Amino acid sequence: MKFKIFSILGVALCGFLATTAAPVESEEPNELEPRFYPKSYIFDPLPKLTESSPTTRYYEFELKVKKLSPDGFERPVWSVNGQYPGPLIQANKGDRLVIKVINRLGDPATIHWHGIFQRGTNWYDGVPGQTQCPIPNRVSFTYNYTLEQSGTYWYHSHFLAQYVDGLLGPLIIQDPDDPYKNSYQEDYVVTISDWYHSPSAPLLVQRTAPHYTGFNPYPDAALISGRGQYNCSSPAAGKHCNPNVKPATYNVQKGKKYRFRIINTSAYTYFTFSIDNHPLQVIEVEGTPVKQANTSTVTVLPLHTAQRYSVILHANQPIGNYYIRANIIESCLAPRTNNTINYNSSINPNATGILHYIGADSYSKPTSTEYPVTFTLCRGIDSSAIRPYKPDPAPANITNSFVLNVTFAPNDDDVGLFKINNSTFEPIFNNPTNERIMLKEDYTGFEKTQNAYGYDVPYGGVEIILLNGGLANHPFHLHGHAFHLCGVGQGIDINNLTTRNLIDPVVRDTVIVPPQSHIIIRYVADNPGVWAFHCHIEWHVELGMVAQLIERPTEFSNRTLPDDVRALCMQYDSYYKKQKRSTAALPRGSMVKRIQIRKNGGESKKQIREEEAAGNGEEAVLNEGERYIETEENDIGTQANEEYLMSIW
């Protein structure tokens, strides 16, 4: 049927293709059909798991670039199976996940399973240059690990800023013994996110350019569960903007109770989340069940990048429609100076969705009013609200203690970079740290830029004191563990730290470090491997705000790397060599395809020089201030990017 239409439209289509770039997916000749949203799983209650556990669950993730319009504005999205947010992974505690990733992005990729401990499987943690080599384009790789935790997690690409381009999704683990299991009838997932109309690669190029004095790229939209309402009549909207994206809508039945799992999948932004007229009882923070208390019911919930909460909502209000609100709090971002990338975006920072009572008129807009914010903005939820359900004291005896001081300074090329203890992290994609440890390399001799901190005492107590003397807040995330958040205090004087709560601190994996403040976290060294510890603001990651924790190298170095993980590095090396026609790359060794930035259309000076150089066998030389990224022609990722860039630059 499709082919018939295709041939009838053939002549017209050829004309269409001749004047525009090739379609993103040639096997789907539907480029002329209106692209409305396919029905998404995300607005349905989570399917009830019926299999007896433990079981093995198989998933196939095809990574591909697809044009989507989450907020109405069409752009290429780095997707899993063509969806944004990506497919739901749901399992029971104790299950094994086997996820085959088939990379057709045109870029290398990895997938990280945010919050999952990966005990015994550090090489499936998905961090390029730390736990594996990137999966090259047109290569598949299978992640395979067991779930010992339960709660609300997510997965996302950890390769450059690829998750900002859409490569992410929820990962939900049910626990048959969840203390709140019988406290609600249905279970919903909500993602909240900032969103950018430009692919991340050119944003990164600009963000990491010499002499750049602005702040992080300003987002274009706020999304709830992958949907937003961009102002299509704003001049920046262009011609491919759909003003009729249906707002995120969750259906409830009066009298029932619902669990909502809220995940902030942003690149950058701090959100407040609320549902008008409906207080939310917090029952889970990042995998840790929360004890019920007066304070654990909130009206407005703050979440920074990568943070998650589960709340229970009681649908006990008059039948009607109520706003679901996800507000980017702009005062928590760096100032919107006019030298900041995309500072003049037409963002509506206040995304709305709808809580729809079954029986209410679907077409009448909510008239509900917003709850006021009664806590300090830019900060986390009051820690007394989220005491762990089960007593879980922090380790009292510390065998290894680290002080990590975060600062910002320009390098010799006048690229402003973050430093941890005076060192900017630089990944070495083709020589992952964990493989080096397994080859018995001594981490104390690593390059300074590896930001490697090790500890070797089995089940020792680890304490990290993180000092942030700057003016920005940083949501710090630890891989391989959930940590006890023993304290958050003002100032960065190591002799004047806040009092530690060792008795019932919250246990989570992502914490907000406020400006000019410190945090103290503790955990037990019970998971040998290489674990990243980094700010989850993706722009800060690319500016080097990353440390690597080398946990129990003596034991870890005796483990055996699976053959397919080792093979990945060989595949990556040969891929990389083929790609390396030109040497310039994103700063600090990052390597993706070249994307020409065409300021005024046509060929740039760089491109012309490159063509000249290709003629005489030389490599093109970059002029000062010029940067580009390697390309592989005929790749859909490149085409999507180039097409996009040609339309906006």
String of contacts with ligand C2O for each residue 129-158, x by CB under 6 A = ---------------------------x-x
Q: Smallest gap, in angstroms, from Cβ of residue 305 to Cu ion? A: 8
Q: Are 90 and 46 in contact (CB under 8 A)?
A: yes
Kindly compute the dihedral angle of the four CA atoms of residues 81, 87, 91, 96, in this order, to the nearest 10 degrees.
Answer: 30
Q: Smallest gap, in angstroms, from Cβ of residue 377 to ligand C2O? A: 23
Q: Which is nearer to ligand C2O, 158 or 594 (CB)?
A: 158
Contacts of 62 (CB under 8 A, 6+ apart): 80, 81, 82, 102, 104
**CA–CA dist 209, 301 (Å, integer):** 36
Q: Which does 540 bind (CB under 5 to 8 A by kind): ligand C2O, Cu ion, none?
A: Cu ion
**CA–CA dist 184, 197 (Å, integer):** 38
* Segment 92 to 121, residues that bind ligand C2O, using CB under 6 A: 112, 114
Q: Which is nearer to ligand C2O, 227 or 534 (CB)?
A: 534
Task: Find the radius of gyration of the CA atoms of the chain.
Answer: 24
HSE-up of residue 95 (Cα within 13 Å, Cβ side): 24
Q: 66, 474, 522, 606: which one contacts Cu ion (CB under 5 A)?
A: 474
Number of residues that bind ligand C2O (CB under 6 A): 10
Q: Smallest gap, in angstroms, from Cβ of residue 114 to ligand C2O? A: 4
- Residue 29 has which token pair? 């000749």
| β partners of residue 103 | 63
Q: Binding segment for Cu ion among 36-44, 320-328, 381-389, 470-478 (CB under 5 A)?
A: 470-478
Q: 301, 415, 537, 585: which one contacts Cu ion (CB under 5 A)?
A: 537
Q: Smallest gap, in angstroms, from Cβ of residue 578 to ligand C2O? A: 28
How does DSSP classify residue 419? E
Q: Which does 207 bind (CB under 5 to 8 A by kind): Cu ion, ligand C2O, none?
A: none
Q: Are 470 and 517 in contact (CB under 8 A)?
A: no
Q: Smallest gap, in angstroms, from Cβ of residue 475 to ligand C2O? A: 10
Q: 328, 438, 452, 535: which one contacts Cu ion (CB under 5 A)?
A: 535
Phi-psi region of 93 (alpha: psi -120 to 50; beta: other; left: phi over 0): beta
Residue 534, interface with ligand C2O (CB under 6 A)?
yes
How does DSSP classify residue 296? G
Taking residue 140's Cβ as centre, other Cβ atoms within 10 Å add up to 15
Q: Binding segment for Cu ion among 2-10, 395-403, 437-445, 539-547 (CB under 5 A)?
A: 539-547
**CA–CA dist 398, 530 (Å, integer):** 20
232-240 CB contacts, 8 Å cutoff, 24+ apart: 232/72, 232/73, 234/346, 236/197, 236/345, 236/346, 237/72, 237/73, 237/346, 238/73, 238/647, 238/648, 240/69, 240/73, 240/74
Q: Which is nearer to ligand C2O, 93 or 156 (CB)?
A: 156
Contacts of 389 (CB under 8 A, 6+ apart): 179, 288, 289, 290, 291
Q: Smallest gap, in angstroms, from Cβ of residue 540 to Cu ion? A: 3
Q: Binding segment for ligand C2O among 400-408, 417-425, 532-540, 554-562 (CB under 6 A)?
A: 532-540
Q: Which does 535 bind (CB under 5 to 8 A by kind): ligand C2O, Cu ion, none?
A: Cu ion
Q: 67, 477, 552, 606: which one contacts ligand C2O (CB under 6 A)?
A: 477
Q: Smallest gap, in angstroms, from Cβ of residue 536 to ligand C2O? A: 6
Q: Which is nearer to Cu ion, 75 or 534 (CB)?
A: 534
Please count the residues of the chain: 649
Q: Which is nearer to ligand C2O, 306 or 394 (CB)?
A: 306
**CA–CA dist 431, 573 (Å, integer):** 10
| β partners of residue 533 | 478, 547
Residue 306, interface with ligand C2O (CB under 6 A)?
yes
* Helix intervals (H) in 398-504: 433-438
Q: 75, 308, 325, 479: which one contacts ligand C2O (CB under 6 A)?
A: 479
Q: Which does 479 bind (CB under 5 to 8 A by kind): Cu ion, ligand C2O, none?
A: ligand C2O
Q: Which does 156 bind (CB under 5 to 8 A by kind): ligand C2O, Cu ion, none?
A: ligand C2O
Q: Which is nearer to ligand C2O, 312 or 452 (CB)?
A: 452
**CA–CA dist 143, 110 (Å, integer):** 10
Q: Which is nearer to Cu ion, 512 or 568 (CB)?
A: 512
Residue 540, interface with Cu ion (CB under 5 A)?
yes
Q: Which does 227 bind (CB under 5 to 8 A by kind): Cu ion, ligand C2O, none?
A: none
Q: Which does 508 bind (CB under 5 to 8 A by kind): Cu ion, ligand C2O, none?
A: none
Q: Smallest gap, in angstroms, from Cβ of residue 268 to ligand C2O? A: 13
Residue 532, interface with ligand C2O (CB under 6 A)?
yes
Q: Are 51 and 96 in contact (CB under 8 A)?
A: no
CA nearest neighbour of 469 among 535, 399, 406, 525: 406
Residues in touch with Cu ion (CB under 5 A): 474, 535, 537, 540
Which residues sit at the interface with ligand C2O, rule CB under 6 A?
112, 114, 156, 158, 306, 477, 479, 532, 534, 536
